[in-house]
């Protein structure tokens, strides 16, 4: 049969099958007759065949391996630092990445929802179809990408999260809102954005336990992307147009990723210390420089094929400056950006709150890199060739995670330290 016809038939079947799922959800508070037992649920129907969206390939890591698994090492430091979309094509295998902090994020999500509820998770009625499509997409992604971490014996009606031991029951009527299911599977924050009749894009649902600082859902739900980005430097003059163009042409086949970052002296997920400062306040001078981290906000954007909703994920990952100190040029790039980035970006990221405190430490690290021969006085200061990742990203092994390279790097650093100590003794 002509492949186009196959796809059309598949899509038609999916559309027909999708309808009862929504109807069932709508009837979740209906009569007993509406509440069919799981066996009556159109299991296959919950899946859809999508010709556009890329599908993940399996990664056979076990829960035991996840305990030491590191995600790709993000180093999204650019110089010169211009405000651009800075998006990359996303390999769908990395849509929802895995790492050894998975359990921590999932537990924190639960705690934050219990404590803050609608401040961190909320949805508008218009998002219902998109929320269900997202839930199914996350479920299918986890089952396909991590077959040893998420298992199902009934084609996705019940899914066991082997990392937490929880069995999620997807039979209709759902026991909870679809976004709650999503947060029990993936460690990322999720934003659902839809285009309304006026042609603008609006935030219609969000599960964002780890905003870091500036984001309160109650304040932003139902608002346009223009409103949400109103504080972002150069949004009006530079970003808005490119984003609008990108949103108007992107399909389910073109997922992208990007990374944003800022500096803080904690590992908080809900609200970073730098965002807890009052206006004009700076970090306490007693805070040890080795406590400073770069909080990378690893983000993805993809369109769902059926509802066409835009799914934006955000995931905070912390890297201490100390752990990056022997990566060529990292301390130099940080110093340069803290002091010489465009003024509005410096203000937005509140670099003035900590840069003077960090300066002697950064200068010390830069001198150390020169002494160790990692850089010279003349090494040109510019974006790393491995951007947005650390230079050792290529040496890693997908099955073992990126910690193999990290361990090698730590060994190397320890060896160099020993050599230094010996030299100092000899002198």
Nearer to ligand HEM, 212 or 305 (CB): 212
Q: Please provide residue 229's backbone torsions phi and psi, each rounded to the nearest 5 degrees.
A: -95, 10
Task: Output 214 or 320, the one with its CB closest to ligand HEM.
Answer: 214
Chain residue at closest Cβ approach to ligand HEM: 260
Question: Is the CB of 129 or the CB of 289 nearer to ligand HEM?
Answer: 129
Least distance in angstroms from the C-beta of 243 to ligand HEM: 5
- Of the two residues 224 and 320, which places its CB atom closer to ligand HEM in the complex? 224
CB of 233 to ligand HEM, least distance (A): 7
> Measured from the CB of residue 87, what is the shortest distance to ligand HEM in angstroms?
5
- SS3 sequence of the chain: CCHHHHHHHHHHHHHHHHHHHHHHHHCCCCCHHHCCCHHHCCHHHHCCCCCCCCCCCCCCCCHHHHCCCCCCCECCCCCCCCCCCCCEECCHHHCCCCCCCHHHHHHHHHHHHHHHHHHCEEECHHHHHHHHHHHHHHHHHHHHHCCCCEECCCCCCEEEECCCCCEEECCCCCCCCHHHHHHHHCCCEEEEEEECCCCCEEEEEEECCCCECCCCHHHHCCCEHHHHCCCCCCHHHHHHHHHHHHHHHCCCCCCEEEEEEEEECCCCCCECHHHHCCCCCCCCCCCCHHHCEEEEEEEEEEECCCCCCEEEEEEEEEEECHHHCCCCCHHHHHHHHHHHCCHHHHHHCCHHHCHHHHHHHHHHHHHHHHHCCCCCCCCCCCCCCCCCECCCHHHCECCCECHHHHHHHHHHHHHHHHHHHHHHHHC
When the beta carbons of 47 and 246 are compared against ligand HEM, the nearer one is 246
**Closest CB to ligand HEM among residues 191, 265:** 191
Shortest approach of ligand HEM to residue 305 CB, angstroms?
A: 17
Nearest distance from C-beta of residue 385 to ligand HEM, angstroms: 22
- How far apart are CB 255 and ligand HEM at their closest, in Å? 11
Distance (Å, whole) CA 285 – CA 348: 22
Query: Which of 90, 225 has the CB closer to ligand HEM?
Result: 225
Q: How far is the CB of 169 from ligand HEM (least distance, A)?
A: 29
Identify which of residues 193 and 317 has a Cβ nearer to ligand HEM in the complex.
193
Q: Which is nearer to ligand HEM, 170 or 190 (CB)?
A: 190
What residue ranges bind ligand HEM (CB under 6 A)?
Answer: 85, 87, 191, 193, 203, 214-215, 225, 228-229, 231-232, 239, 243, 246, 260, 301, 310, 312
Give least dist CB 372 to ligand HEM, A: 31
CB of 422 vs ligand HEM, minimal distance in Å: 43
């Amino acid at each position: 049969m002509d492949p186009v016809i196959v796809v059309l038939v598949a899509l038609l079947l999916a559309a027909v099958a999708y309808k009862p799922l929504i109807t069932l959800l709508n009837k979740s508070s209906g009569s007993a007759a509406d509440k069919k037992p799981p066996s009556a649920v159109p299991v296959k129907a919950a899946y859809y065949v999508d010709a556009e969206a890329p599908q993940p390939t399996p990664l056979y890591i076990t829960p035991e391996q996840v305990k030491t698994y590191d995600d790709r090492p993000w180093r999204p430091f650019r110089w010169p630092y211009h405000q651009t979309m800075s998006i990359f094509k996303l390999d769908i295998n990395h849509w929802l990445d895995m790492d050894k902090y998975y359990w921590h994020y999932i537990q924190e999500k639960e705690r934050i929802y219990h404590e803050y509820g609608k401040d961190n998770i909320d949805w508008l009625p218009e998002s219902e179809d998109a929320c269900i499509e997202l839930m199914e997409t996350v479920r299918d992604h986890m089952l396909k990408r991590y077959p040893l971490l998420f298992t199902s014996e009934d084609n996705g009606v019940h899914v066991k999260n082997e990392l937490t031991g929880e069995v999620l029951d997807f039979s209709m009527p759902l026991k909870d809102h679809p976004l709650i299911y999503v947060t029990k599977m993936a460690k990322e924050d999720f934003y659902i954005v839809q285009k309304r009749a006026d042609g603008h894009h609006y935030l219609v649902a969000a599960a964002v336990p780890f905003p870091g600082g500036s984001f309160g859902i109650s304040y932003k739900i139902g608002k346009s992307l223009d409103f949400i980005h109103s504080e972002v430097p150069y949004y009006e003059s530079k970003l808005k147009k490119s984003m609008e163009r990108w949103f108007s042409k992107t399909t389910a086949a073109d997922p992208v990723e990007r990374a944003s970052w800022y500096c803080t002296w904690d590992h908080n997920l809900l609200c970073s210390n730098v965002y807890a400062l009052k206006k004009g306040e700076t970090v306490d001078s007693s805070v040890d420089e080795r406590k400073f981290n770069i909080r990378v906000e690893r983000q993805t954007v993809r369109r769902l094929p059926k509802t066409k909703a835009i799914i934006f994920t955000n995931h905070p990952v912390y890297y201490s400056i100390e752990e990056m100190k022997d990566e060529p040029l990292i301390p130099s790039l940080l110093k340069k950006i803290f002091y010489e980035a465009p003024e509005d970006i410096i203000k937005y990221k509140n670099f003035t709150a900590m840069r003077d405190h960090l300066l002697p430490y950064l200068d010390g690290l830069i001198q150390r890199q020169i002494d160790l021969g990692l850089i010279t006085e003349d090494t040109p200061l510019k974006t790393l060739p491995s951007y947005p990742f650390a230079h050792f990203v290529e040496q890693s092994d997908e099955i073992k995670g990126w910690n193999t390279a990290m361990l090698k790097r730590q060994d190397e650093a320890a060896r160099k330290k020993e050599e230094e100590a010996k030299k100092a003794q000899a002198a």
